[in-house]
Structure 1
């Protein structure tokens, strides 16, 4: 007899096993356009990942917009930094490794997962730094907190707060 996946998860939970259900669809409240409101420690984060002073100064002065979309099981995040029409675009499927291209053209192995109200991306560039991007959705998706961290460097943790555009 073949056990259905949800039955297995329930059984595993009853036995005390911790399971994360691999979802392929974002909740509707995560989809939309978000505008930058405030932030903390962004300059230290950018410095920790190797961004030079001139670029850090420019990036810190921007009010980026983020757009999150999903078509089928492919998710797209567009970050418009508002400097000369420059955008960062990321297309991926949850739980599937992919290569993300930075604004500088670097190609970084990345994986994205959905954990409750958080969309989490873990990036492992060749320089040995592991970078984590966690988008936490609060207030039914009207607020998105973007936590940026370099694993092993807590002094570089940054927070960027965004509000959903209505």
Structure 2
């Protein structure tokens, strides 16, 4: 792990900054099905092992999810709502908070769309080597998805 003093300062603790590769995934297909993601897209997504890149520039956080097929890039500030287009195509009002070792994003679409509200919790181990992302849909605990990511070595 990098020297803590060489990491950027700002709203996120240093152990949350870095690149994380997906290792395991539970109930991702069920989660996507509940969101209305079509079979072809689900089949592709279930076979990808994305890298999540978390960085910050002063108080702006960047969250990039990279796959060989599609990448997303979201920039936001903690505790300030913004409009986000999610990977599954929902337009939501999103707010992110930092609660201990959890970076939380709550995504709420306009009620008229009929889309579900979702929550992404990125929980980091004390040593920063593991990030457990829990994906939940309001009122649908049976499709809670858990995806575990491991830190990739820093580029030197």
TM-score class, shorter-chain normalisation, is: 0.7 to 0.9
Relative to the length of structure 1, the TM-score reads: 0.81
Retained in 2: the 8 A contact 1:34–1:164? yes
Instruction: Return the structure number with greater strand share.
Output: 2
Higher-Rg structure is 1
Partner residue in 1 for 2:75: 91
Q: TM-score, normalised by structure 2?
A: 0.86
The structure, 1 or 2, with the larger RCO (C-alpha pairs under 8 Å, 6+ apart) is 2
Instruction: Give the unaligned 5+ runs of structure 2.
Output: 1-9
**Would you say the 8 A contact 2:37–2:88 is kept in 1?**
no
Aligned residues: 141
Alignment of 1:42-53 (within 5 A): 42-53=28-39
Which among 62, 85, 89 is matched to residue 48 of structure 2?
62
- 1:106 to partner: Cα distance: 3.9
Where in structure 1 are there 5+ consecutive unaligned residues? 1-23
In the TM superposition, residue 128 of structure 1 has moved relative to its aligned partner by: 4.6
The alignment status of 1:163 with 2:150, answered yes or no, reads yes
- Alpha-carbon distance in 1 for matches of 2:89, 2:35: 14
CA contact (8 A) 1:118 1:135 kept: yes
Q: What is the CA distance between 1:67 and its match in structure 2?
A: 0.1
Q: Measure the CA separation in 1 of the matches of 2:48 and 2:115.
A: 28
Large movers: runs of 4+ above 4 Å: none
